[in-house]
Amino acid sequence: MRFRAGQHPLYLHFMIELEVPREKAILVGAPLKRFSGQEAEEHLEELARLADTAGAEIVGTILQRLDAPHPKFYIGEGKADELQAMAQETGATIVIFDEELSPAQGRNLEELLGLRIIDRAELILDIFATRARTAESKMQVELAQLQYTLPRLTRMWVHLSRVRGGIGMRGPGETQLETDRRMIGQKIAKLKDDLERVSRQRTTQRKGRQDAFTAALVGYTNAGKSSLLRSLSGTEAFVEDRLFATLDAATRTVDLGEGYECLLTDTVGFIRKLPHHLVPSFRATLEEAQDADLLLHVIDISHSGWESQKEVVEDVLDDLSLAAHPTVLVFNKIDRLTHEEEASWRARIESEYPEQPVFVSTLELEGVEPLRELLRERIRSANPAVWISLPPSGGGLLAELYREAEVIAVEDEEGRMVVNARVPAATLGRLRQQQGVEVRDVR
């Protein structure tokens, strides 16, 4: 209780802090027995991080390895009873399954527990909904939510079946259900049309920067892609030690030194058990990766399960028809390793992946220099070295070469300027069309 300065004591002002109560969540992992015990624990730990990102307080966990999912509750009936007891004991308000539940399984669990039941797909959608910032990503989230909701509408209308003496209710309920299905179908069609329009606009924008070398950061969520973008570009990028810290693609110009620069794009992170309907829904966000000259697959080398995370990313890239795209492995967060661990991992990785992997850290500026050097080398190899003979009046063309190419040497031959340079394809194409300009390859 406080008095406001200069005000009569009778006028009291109460300082009250209001906080939205956190959901109390029980996590349920029910992997098949083909997964090892360690993998099952890692999956449940990741579910806990997802729940924390969504704002839940974890009050209990249940793990059961299955030969096959139970048709009624997904978990066995004994475990379902154990879950019911735990929910009553902890005062849980929500139960989150790591596996995707069928509409019937979700409905049966809700009837048994009297609590909201969501699965991993719904949890990820909820996180996406809170993290989307641009109009495009919001449309993508809404589309994915509607696609997930459509086959589960009957479960959402289950309250109608609980009305005793429901004569006269059954028809309207079914009518409303069909109405909702039709409305959702129309909304899905409109969102797809809107996203297609946005996709065409993005394609037009990318055509305007075809001269630039482009690279896209891809990788498992929380691998440090946004931190890398910030370190390389020197600009602000949202960074948070949580899963799916950012959803929206962000593109920055990166000065690579020695006169080189590139456009670098950060994309949404991938995750294991990514719901399949989310991949096409977020395809527009990942179009930057599809059109990039080079993919930078960022891997958190300090994570104990980085190899399985790498496989998850490669599977998603395969779903997006990007498996054969030029890619470099970027092993991030080497600062979290001891010198002995780093030396051991480097030796093993460089022997297993001979395609020039890179090791970086964003804690210090020089920690990302190996990646800058790699990008400079890729641009050099993408720009052919040529000899360009310019007429005496070609001073403007020489200035253009200094701006857009890597000029190696300039010589004078019988009154003509002969330039040895590495030239981007677009610039070289324009020069070839100039009258009096001669171009020959370096032998």
Reported as a single tens digit per residue, the pLDDT across 181-236 is 788 888 888 988 888 887 777 666 655 555 678 999 999 988 889 889 989 988 65
23-130 and 211-380: same fold?
yes
What does the pLDDT read at residue 240? 53
Angle of CA points 221, 225, 226, to nearest 5°: 105
Put residue 435 in one of left, alpha, beta given phi > 0 → left and psi -120 to 50 → alpha. Answer: beta
| DSSP track, 232-301 | HH-S-----SSTTS--S-EEEEEEEETTEEEEEEE-PPB-TT--TTHHHHTTTTTHHHHH-SEEEEEEET
Contact at 8 Å (CB) between 390 and 398? yes
Question: In this predicted model, what pLDDT tens digit does every residue of 239-278 receive, in sequence order?
Answer: 555 566 555 667 888 999 887 888 998 887 888 877 666 6
Q: How confident is the model at residue 294 (pLDDT cuts 50, 70, 90)?
A: very high
What does the pLDDT read at residue 281? 54
Residue 85 burial by CB count (10 A; 0-12/13-18/19+): exposed, middle or buried?
Answer: exposed
pLDDT above 90 (res 86): yes
Count of Cβ atoms closer than 10 Å to residue 362 Cβ: 19
Q: How far is CA 69 from the centre of its chain?
A: 29
What does the pLDDT read at residue 169? 38
Question: In this predicted model, what pLDDT tens digit does every residue of 328-340 receive, in sequence order?
Answer: 999 999 999 999 9
What does the pLDDT read at residue 78? 94
What does the pLDDT read at residue 165? 40
What lies within 8 Å, CB to CB, of 154 at 6+ separation is 103, 107, 177
DSSP letter assigned to residue 368: G
Calculate mean pLDDT across residues 21-33.
Answer: 90
pLDDT above 70 (res 153): no
Q: Please provide the average confidence, as pLDDT, over all residues in the chain.
A: 81
Boundaries of every domain in the chain: 23-130, 132-158+170-206, 211-380, 383-441
Residue 47 host element (H or E): helix 37-54
What does the pLDDT read at residue 154? 59
Q: How far is CA 232 from the centre of its chain?
A: 19
Calculate mean pLDDT across residues 389-417.
Answer: 85
CATH architecture of 23-130: 3-Layer(aba) Sandwich (3.40)
What does the pLDDT read at residue 285? 58
Contact at 8 Å (CB) between 106 and 152? yes
Of the chain, the end-to-end C-alpha distance in Å amounts to 84
Domain 383-441, CATH? 3.30.70.240
CATH architecture of 211-380: 3-Layer(aba) Sandwich (3.40)
What does the pLDDT read at residue 87? 95
Higher pLDDT, 299 or 157: 299
CA count, 13 A, side-chain hemisphere, 245? 16
Calculate mean pLDDT across residues 136-152.
Answer: 79
